[in-house]
């Protein structure tokens, strides 16, 4: 059954209501004695090494990885959204719809505010790591990823495959916020910090509308294309996944480990062991399935299900179970 998405007119009406918009005036008094995210949203959780760490090490790792997640949300919203949406807004099938253009302009502005909000959250958590003007510690993009984003923006007017990734990541951020509400008690680290969680739950208000815009753009910019164009988009997206799901020695997950060891030098003799544990997740089915799966991305997976060109997507995306 085809999903019925909100119309651009309905999205604009919702966006005009302050109750449906992400608040900016949030209390950022973060408790450094509490974990900030559920443990299964970190990489080491999926390795045997995690259980061997002392409580203080796991807590600090959890907090550092939470900062890394915030940076990745910021990266998505600053490095991809505007570069992707701006050329799409010039397409005739988008430019002719005034309400859709208005909704997309609102989305771009909201994403800029989200970037500022998460930067402020990270600075409130660790002002020593994020002095004024410095928003990135773990998410300085490697050359391959920068090239991938640049290519995605350059070809967006003809091949808009990055829209699938954008929708998946926005829905993933919603899943994190929902899990913070549903599971406020972590497995081994105690209750989550409520102020940190509030920023993420507020973020959901705007993202819930953005998902509908993502889906509308996918239908107009990909679904309406020729069979060849749809096939090229599907192939490009699946190629893109390899650079996203496989931890690398220069990637953000290893950077978190290195920062953990800098802050807790007693782990120095275990640094390489922990790095190898993260790198081994390239082939770990449970970890790979945690990145993209139907529980956290039901709407995105519904779009995948309706895309004939994704018949073999499960070969590239471990968590995809095609009906």
pLDDT digits (tens, 9 = 90+) for 224-252: 999 999 999 999 999 888 878 889 999 99
What confidence tier does 142 reach under pLDDT thresholds 50, 70, 90? low
Domain ranges of the chain: 42-315
pLDDT, residue 146, reads 64
**pTM as predicted:** 0.94
Answer whether residue 2 shows pLDDT above 60. no
Q: What percent of the chain has pLDDT over 90?
A: 83
> Among 3.30.160, 1.20.1050, 1.10.620, 1.20.120, what is the CATH number of 42-315?
1.10.620
Half-sphere exposure of 302 (CA within 13 A, CB side): 16
Band the pLDDT of 141: cuts 50, 70, 90. Answer: low
Torsion of CA 279, 280, 285, 289, to 10 degrees: -20
Distance CA 277, CA 256 (A): 13
pLDDT confidence tier of residue 76, bands split at 50, 70 and 90: confident
Instruction: Give the pLDDT of residue 78.
Output: 77
What long-range pairs does 240-244 form, CB within 8 A, spacing at least 24? Answer: 240/148, 240/152, 240/161, 240/162, 240/165, 241/316, 241/317, 242/316, 243/144, 243/145, 243/148, 244/165, 244/291
Residue-wise pLDDT for 29-61, tens only, equals 999 999 999 999 999 999 999 999 999 999 999
The reported pLDDT for the residue numbered 147 is 67
Evaluate if residue 108 carries a pLDDT over 60: yes
**pLDDT tens digits along 165-224:** 999 999 999 999 999 999 999 999 999 999 999 999 999 999 999 999 999 999 999 999
Three-state SS letters, 202-250: HHHHHHHHHHHHHHHHHHHHHHCCCHHHHHHHHHHHHHHHHHHHCCCCC
Lowest average pLDDT, out of 2-16, 73-87, 89-103, 166-180, goes to 73-87
The pLDDT value given to residue 242: 81
Mean pLDDT of 82-108: 94
Helices 227-245 and 143-155, packing angle to 10 deg: 160
């Amino acid at each position: 059954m085809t999903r019925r998405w909100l119309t651009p007119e309905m999205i604009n009406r919702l966006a005009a209501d302050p109750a449906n918009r992400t608040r900016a005036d949030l209390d950022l008094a973060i408790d450094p004695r509490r974990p900030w995210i559920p443990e299964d949203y970190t990489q080491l959780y999926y390795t045997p090494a995690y259980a061997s760490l002392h409580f203080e090490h796991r807590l600090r790792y959890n907090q550092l990885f939470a900062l890394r997640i915030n940076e990745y949300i910021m990266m998505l919203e600053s490095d991809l959204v505007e570069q992707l949406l701006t050329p799409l807004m010039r397409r005739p099938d988008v430019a002719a719809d005034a309400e859709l253009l208005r909704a997309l302009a609102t989305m771009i502005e909201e994403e800029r505010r989200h970037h500022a909000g998460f930067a402020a959250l990270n600075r409130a958590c660790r002002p020593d790591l994020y002095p004024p003007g410095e928003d990135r510690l773990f998410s300085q993009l490697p050359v391959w990823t920068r090239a991938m984003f640049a290519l995605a923006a350059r070809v967006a007017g003809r091949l808009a495959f990055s829209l699938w990734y954008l929708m998946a990541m926005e829905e993933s951020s919603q899943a994190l916020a929902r899990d913070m509400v549903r599971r406020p008690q972590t497995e081994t680290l105690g209750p989550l910090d409520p102020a940190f969680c509030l920023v993420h739950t507020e973020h959901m208000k705007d993202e819930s509308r953005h998902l509908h815009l993502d889906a509308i753009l996918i239908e107009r910019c990909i679904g309406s294309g020729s069979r060849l164009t749809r096939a090229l988009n599907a192939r490009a997206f699946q190629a893109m996944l390899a650079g996203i799901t496989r931890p690398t020695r220069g990637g953000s997950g290893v950077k978190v480990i290195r920062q953990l060891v800098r802050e807790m030098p007693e782990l120095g003799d275990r640094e390489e062991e922990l790095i190898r544990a993260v790198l081994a997740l390239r082939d770990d089915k449970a970890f790979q399935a945690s990145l993209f799966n139907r529980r956290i991305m039901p709407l995105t997976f519904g779009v995948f299900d309706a895309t004939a060109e994704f018949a073999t997507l499960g070969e590239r995306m471990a968590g995809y179970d095609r009906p």
